[in-house]
Structure 1
């Protein structure tokens, strides 16, 4: 600040310069709080737009230092500094703009100074995206349907088409017009407002000339390069009375789906009266107790909407009566009935009258024959009620059910694919599925029980041995009394019920036949005794019949032989009963099992016999090498280590037991002299019974005989004493002849040891038996009683030698008698 100071006395003028020191007391200010920019959406990224900077009254560091722009994905701020007082601001476009996406961008520009405290000022940037014509007009509906009453005056509203354009300005301004390809007679009857899209009546609309017009409407924008959209309008001409108010249904959306929710618009109704004022004011209402209601929308239009649940299966069509009354005097009214059809929704599955069905089929039916017809109904209509039938896959003994039965998918007829046999299959359980053609499809099942009925197609069959073309012989004792069971005939029938109920009778029975047959049991019995003078053979023809229709029968022959005794007959009867009892059913698997087990048993038996025979042959060969000698007094020579084996053969024992005693050949010693037969050892003792036996029987080494006496079995084989000085000792130590331990019999003789009785052999005792725990087999035979002896049986038990102990013996030359003795010993051993 420059000041002038005047001083008086003397007067002087002083020039004063005052410098005002700046402080940061001013905010940066923009020229306006909001700046508006218009940028075309066609501008490319990288485009720059200059901005006006802010002003700060302060100077120096208190003036404006920096600028900031709020975050944006489309814009960025570029600041160019030339001098401290000169800065350039530019808005740079980073990303292409889309007005239809974001029409306006609001950004904040902030200017800050460098003072302390730091002050800043802001300005709002409103960037408007300028539209370009890059979107074509779009109709809200591609298809419009409306109605117009006949004789409607010019300008009568038909329908209003509505289209939108996402562009702006001239690019979004839409002009409506008829398509140039429309016939001229249509364009002469209707007109369209190019600005509103309302189609009106332009000429005389006559229902009798045409009741339907098709209008093609184009919507074109006013862009530099115009773009167009298209729709079609169907105008129904309604025949109306000219005097009452005009009631028009301009839009009727029928049929109405039965699952429509309340509030669904069914129709737009236009009620118009050519009168004016009160006389032209129309009020509308509809009939009551229907699931619809009418409500006013604007001016002369009413909306008919759903007001309750719809069910096409309960009522498939509604007749809504719309009544329009004016308020004139007298009141004039018009009534219009709107028929609303309820369209079907697949909400009902096909259903059968009953969930189960029973079918009866006689066996031996013709393949392909019709056996049953299933029928289902569906409350729906059209394709929702088109029913197809199919079999649910299942199996019978591994065979698909479709191999037995087929179903026609269109009419539900069931056919038998093969001829059924009751004897193979009696019952079939299957299910038939009925499926409609709706989306999604619904289905239900019907369970069928198919019973195969038996017919009499199998003749009775006799059980073995009473089979056809064969004769069974039965024997009857002549002494048999009345009621004696000769035999019992058995038969079976593969059928069932009455077809398998069998009755037996004689075919052409003789008047004097002594036999009768049980009608239902098949038992042949004697009705009287057979006299001696009567014949000895009867041939009986037996007929078995079933109770089917037609009756079927079978015949067999029984040859009855009359014999004198009854024993053979009882045996024969038991054999036949055991042989054929239960064979009627002929269980093949049982027979195969028996055959297999028998074969295995025979194989084991043959192998076992072969092994035994081979071992026995070796033993016989060893026996042939033995030296069996007897002294002149018939003494026995034993080996203390001698063991016995008792062998069995399958032949009947001879009536007499013959034992050959081999003669020991005199052998030459090394000195050339003949050896005399060896005398018994002085330690050997013989009991009186043994000496008696030695005098009356021939003894062979390794064999002995038990003979049944009055007191039981008696042992008749040599007994060895224990070499004690007492002559009457009789203890056998070690025991000789019958073996040792648990497998041997110990015999004690002498005064203190009387002969031990042997248990009696029962009559049913086997001819050959095995001693448990011993490798010996005992062979027993019976002698026929003589005339001198009392009636009793003499039992002999023969023990065969198993093997000879291995002892070193001197080699001796055997004579022919020696060989004969060996052969005799072999025979005895066997």
Structure 2
């Protein structure tokens, strides 16, 4: 279908230039520079920092950066001076083609606070391209005599890749009396070169004319291209084919199918016979892609699409048709066909994502620019209008900045321990019908910061260790977890130093391996000195700044049977040595004395049992199993003899059991006298013990007084407010048992010895220190009496 232009070609081009200039002024950036093309590396462009109102010292701290839209890195900024300079030469024809205005858009971004500036650098053309002819030699055939002076012959002009005045060409012809050159401008502002015959040709005089045809542009300096014209003078066929119109106008959609007819041209020749038959060809093509886009039927003059039309590559094609007759000396006629390509929505949007702040630290404040996204669509009108979006429910948002630029901005705080990375699908969609879209993914990893302290699974850890442990033995292991990664999760362990007991540091008792988290005992524990060791283990990561967490370890020392019973002086003694005097009048059940013994151990290890070593030698006497009281089993008789000697065995219930013996001498008299102890003991065997002297009695009394003083001071300190005691012997697990084997626990200070001085008939089992329970509120000591013997 033939479509005709409704507007004149010159008026349409002028209107487009005005619209382009207006769009350029409206969309100009905040700063605009001008630069000649092909400027060398380092060429000064402008004082960018000063023109944007930025201090040069702020460029690095505020993360100054510059982005250009798909045009390469033609410019750079000197961070020491703030000067914008040329990084690589810019070829205006390569960047903008024949566009009337050529500018490179730059986007400048600074942080803290975030600001975005838009800079345009206009590229001014220079005369760096010489005119070029498509052929080196052009052949023309002109009939002699029949061709009248003033006859015109179209010539193919030169092309210049420059723009503006640098592409305006002037043509000259080498001196000739037969020919001259005339430049003609048609309605579409297209220039045609006409070779004009000034006088008739004489083939016999000159059969061939060779002329130089130079084309010179108007740049400074001027550049020239030359073609040679070879004119052959013909002797016959004096009528050339003629078209009905000198030019035709056609409009086609860019998706027109291959082989579709564009137009049918027709030329006539007034000659007859073979000189009237015409062949059509395409020639004089100024655009290189025309011959690959269109083809013509040489016999019918039908022009058809050959390949595909692309509005984005070429919006207007000029196709020149030559009609040549078949005479012996062929003559030609010419016309031009202008094909305007109409846009359809056949190009999806294009996405370019430039990452700037990846990975994103998890403590990055909202509002930080993560990446820059530029979108473009080669189509025009609504087909080239593009909107950009990302999925919802993400801690990011898109912010439109300038033209088709968008910033991917952090909208809310992120937590690497919850989500370690985000895969964001950016979708660009145009407004064509039907619309086209394109998508691109950007992976945003979240970088770890040290925002989690090491944590133990429980605040308190408990371990039981038998006393007399081997130095360096492994006691227990603690473990803390840190959800951070790398050095932020590398945990080292240490003991929180404090004093225990008599200003002994915790580190003198235990040590913690910083990496394996194993806790070792540095010295043997003695239950009689220390029942509970409470300390703190600190776990610290290697982040900056480092974070730490603590766990309280309660180490309970378990008693072992490592102390034999120790005998005390007789409680009924009158201060003078000698045997125990027993009145003959004593009846059954009469208490004649008491064996006292203590055991520094605890629990069963301190539960003492008294018995006569050789039961057959006890006579009329017996000893309380748990009280140690010596009493008569019946009324005494003279036949019992004047004296008795009892060997009392005292042993604990430990495994293995430890024991001691005491020898008691009894004399039967008419009146009671003081009891005299033999004071011979055996520890773990049956050998006699040494006599208990006065100094031992004094030592025991001194220790008892010191013990009472310690209790008074302890109760006073408990009543005073103060910081919590984390560890030490002040809190112990006290284990008490009854004869039937029941056990109780107390978290109060235990006493080394619990003694009841009463002389009741019931046997009293004394544990040291387990039978003493401290009242939690009053702080008084209560004694526990066990079942009778």
- TM-score bracket, normalised by the shorter chain, equals 0.3 to 0.5
Structure of higher CA gyration radius:
1
Give the TM-score taking structure 1 as reference length.
0.41
